[in-house]
Structure 1
Amino acid sequence: MERWLIVAMFTQVLLTFIVMYIMGKRRFRAAKQKTIEMKDFLLMELEKAGDNVRVADRNFINQFEMPVLFFIACLTALQVNAVGTVFVALAWVYVALRIIHSVIHLTSNTLKARYYSFVVSSFIMLIMWVLILVRIF
């Protein structure tokens, strides 16, 4: 079980690197098209770069917000021996929803769908934390 939890964690890390790649590609394209200048990166003033660049930047930042709590939950579960089938399944559902959230955010950016994927993934993570608490008490 622990192995599959670590693979889920790696998948979330891989998502972060994929988003970073997309963000970099969009930034370089904007710089090449002269919609932004290199000096704009000094203070990350990317308003002129367009929504495409700013959305990718925002999605990259998202990878260091709620997913941090996911990583802490997984590491805590490993430490307190709370990793079971349900916990691992929830971890994979969380990661799948984060992938869906990023795909929506980086493509159509449909607010309602993006919102629901975020809310459900957050609820899944809360359940993971409750499972840890149940295990230790």
Structure 2
Amino acid sequence: MLDWPEKLLFAAALAQLALIFGLMIWLGFIRVPLVTSGKVRIKDVALSKEAWPQQAKQVSNAVDNQFQLPLLFYAVVLLLLWSGITDWPEVILAWVFVALRFAHAFIHTTANRVDQRFFIYAAGFFVLMTLWIVVALRLFLYSGPV
């Protein structure tokens, strides 16, 4: 059975998954009507995103972006759950990372201001790097069985 820190860590991973699934569903709601109405032809988008309208590109790019830093996030979450060393600092860092991913996706799919997007992406990168450093130190310093 998971303790509260592990449950909250797992909940952060589920929230990140919810972001991905939500973006993918949204992308389907955008793309399917465009294709079925004939506004976008399948052959024009089979190998490139260029024929999609701007909003479809933005949401698609936001989906693609969820398979960059978040992969390293899932790896550290699995490592933490496997090792049993999860504590509150890891939970807080995980939730800050997920909140930044939601903010990044929001910016990506709305105003798409690259300067804002970059700042949020960089912040998420540094939070995730900090999480990995904390976990590495805890694993190296932990004296119990893993």
Same structural fold, with TM-score higher than 0.5 when normalized by the shorter chain: yes
Give the alignment's TM-score, normalised by structure 2: 0.87
| TM-score (ref. length: structure 1) | 0.92
* Distance apart, 1:61 and its partner CA: 1.0
For the residues of structure 2 that align with 1:134 and 1:2, how far apart are their CA atoms? 18
Task: Compute the RMSD of aligned alpha carbons.
Answer: 1.4
- Size of the alignment, in residue pairs? 136
Alpha-carbon offset, residue 31 of structure 1 = 2.0
State which of 23, 28, 33 in structure 2 corresponds to 1:24: 28
State the alpha-carbon separation in 2 of the partners of residues 38 and 52 from structure 1. 17
Structure 2 counterpart of 1:4, one-letter code: L
- Given that 1:70 and 1:125 are in contact with CA atoms closer than 8 Å, whether structure 2 keeps it comes out as yes
Structure 2 gap segments, 5+ residues each: 141-146
> What residue is the counterpart of 1:2 in the other structure?
6
Deviation at 1:40, TM superposition (A): 3.1
Residue 35 of structure 1 aligns to a residue whose secondary structure is coil
Residue 47 of structure 1 and its aligned partner are, at CA, apart by 1.1
CA contact (8 A) 1:9 1:71 kept: yes
Q: Aligned-pair distance for 1:10?
A: 0.3
Identity of counterpart residues, as a percentage? 29
* Structure 1: segments with no counterpart, 5+ residues: none
- Farther-moved stretch of structure 1 (97-106 vs 50-59): 50-59
Deviations 1:45-77 (A, max 9, x none): 231222211111111111111100000011111
Within 5 Å, give how 1:56-67 maps onto structure 2: 56-67=59-70
Corresponding residue SS for 1:122: helix
The structure that has the greater radius of gyration is 2
1:98 counterpart = 2:107: no
CA shift at 1:32, angstroms?
4.2
CA distance in 2, matches of 1:127, 1:82: 16
SS of equivalent to 1:48: coil
- The equivalent position to 2:41 in structure 1, one of 34, 37, 42, is 37
Aligned to 2:89: 86
Give the conservation status (yes or no) of the 8 Å contact 2:45–2:51: no
Partner of 1:133: 136
Distance (Å, rounded) in 1 between the aligned partners of 2:124 and 2:82: 23
- With 83-92 and 46-55 compared, the bigger mean Cα shift is at 46-55
Match for residue 11 of structure 1?
15
